[in-house]
Amino acid sequence: MSIARTTGKLPVMAGAAAVAAVVVTGCSSTPGSTADTPAVTAPGSATSPGAAPTAVPTLQTSGAPAFGSPSSTPSGPPIPTGAALRDLLPTAATLPAGWTIKGDGNRTDTGVAVVEHPVAPLLPQEPCTQMRLAGTILSQGFRASGAMNEVYDGQNAVQVYLAAYHPGDAVKLLGEIRAYAERCKSFTGKGIDGKPVPLTVTQQPVPGLGDEALDLKKVPQGPYHSEEIVVTRIGDRLLFLSGDDILGRLPNFLQLATPLSKSVK
């Protein structure tokens, strides 16, 4: 990859679980997306995907409404479909100064159906070596709908993923993400050059952002690229902003997270 040679940053080897997770989302691969920067794999061991869900999620498919109502809380506020969430993603007109977008950012969404019975998160069983700090992967547990696109803070690509959940499930998933980061705060993966790569995962709360927010970083030792994701909870929605430092620095996530967290309510 020419960028890696220029910056001295090397990618880490792909993991089957990360690839499978991308397929589940139904999102197309775009530059800087999960398919371009996959997970590490444990040295000397075969890659195995996380545990598959025991039941296939059921979808609300009657008509083509802009919103769907969760069966568990029929009197509560409606859950937006992926198509509705897509309209809340950043555009050239709404991006902060210094940020850019190519076309519509290759926007994708989960359509006009809402998952009535979402699967439980796979993170409790997910190996540390499969960790990918990307919204298309971390959003999946409990998710009812989602949409994504990609923007740039001048040069660094940032994946924007917005997901909606049934009441209380966004809080549950954020707790699972915290537990996953704590369990995997130190592990050894394998670089694309075949060498073992020690990695450190850190997590910090982000005060004043949404109802609560978390900043996660996965940093390898040596000439390999680091990953970062900022997860913000806004009620029963989660906003994921993720990217890497393959161009020499990590993106300025908070510059985008602050205004976007107010516009996706």
Res. 99 pLDDT band, cuts 50 70 90? very high
Give me the pLDDT at residue 192, please: 85
In a domain, 57, yes or no: no
pLDDT at 175 over 60: yes
Buried (b) or exposed (e) across 190-207, using 16+ Cβ within 10 A?
A: bbbeeeebebebebeebe
Annotate the chain with three-state secondary structure: CHHHHHHCCECECCCHHHHHHHHHHCCCCCCCCCCCCCCCCCCCCCCCCCCCCCCCCCECCCCCCCEECCCCCCCCCCEECHHHHHCCCCCCCCCCCCCECCCCCCCEECCCCCECCCCCCCHHHCCHHHCCCCHHHHCCCCEEEEEEEEEECCCCEEEEEEEEECCCHHHHHHHHHHHHHHHCCEEEEEECCCCEEEEEEEEEECCCCCCEEEEEEEEECCCECCEEEEEEEECCEEEEEEEECCCCCCCCHHHHHHHHHHHCC
pLDDT at 155 over 70: yes
Give me the pLDDT at residue 119, please: 87
pLDDT at 7 over 80: no
pLDDT at 62 over 90: no
Number of domains in the chain: 1
In angstroms, the Cα distances linking 98 to 31, 130, 241, 242, 260 are 19, 33, 17, 18, 15
Give me the pLDDT at residue 23, please: 30
pLDDT at 48 over 60: no
In a domain, 175, yes or no: yes
In a domain, 48, yes or no: no
Residue with tokens 């910090």: 204
- Contact (CB, 8 A) for 162 and 115: no
Res. 120 pLDDT band, cuts 50 70 90? confident
Q: Taking the model in full, what pTM does it have? A: 0.75
Give me the pLDDT at residue 77, please: 75
For 24-36, what is each residue's pLDDT tens digit? 333 333 333 333 3
Res. 251 pLDDT band, cuts 50 70 90? very high
- Rounded mean pLDDT, 133-148: 97
pLDDT at 249 over 50: yes
pLDDT at 105 over 60: yes
For the record, the structure tokens of 243 come out as 């990217």
Instruction: Tell me the HSE value of 206 on the side-chain side, using a 13 A CA sphere.
Output: 21
Q: Give how far the C-alpha of residue 180 lies from the chain's centroid of Cα atoms, to the nearest Å.
A: 14
In a domain, 158, yes or no: yes
The rounded percent of the chain whose pLDDT value lies above 70 is 71
pLDDT at 139 over 90: yes
In a domain, 54, yes or no: no
What is the spatial distance between Cα 257 and Cα 90, in angstroms, rounded to a whole number? 11
pLDDT at 118 over 80: yes
pLDDT at 11 over 80: no
What is the spatial distance between Cα 173 and Cα 215, in angstroms, rounded to a whole number? 15
Task: Give the residue with greater pLDDT, 7 vs 158.
Answer: 158
Mean pLDDT, the chain, whole residue set: 79
- Rounded mean pLDDT, 254-262: 94
- Rounded mean pLDDT, 41-60: 38
In a domain, 59, yes or no: no
Give the domain CATH number at 222: 3.40.1000
In a domain, 218, yes or no: yes
Give me the pLDDT at residue 25, please: 36
Boundaries of domain holding 227: 2-43+80-263
In a domain, 70, yes or no: no
- Rounded mean pLDDT, 222-248: 96
Give me the pLDDT at residue 10, please: 65
Most confident of 56-60, 177-181, 251-255: 177-181
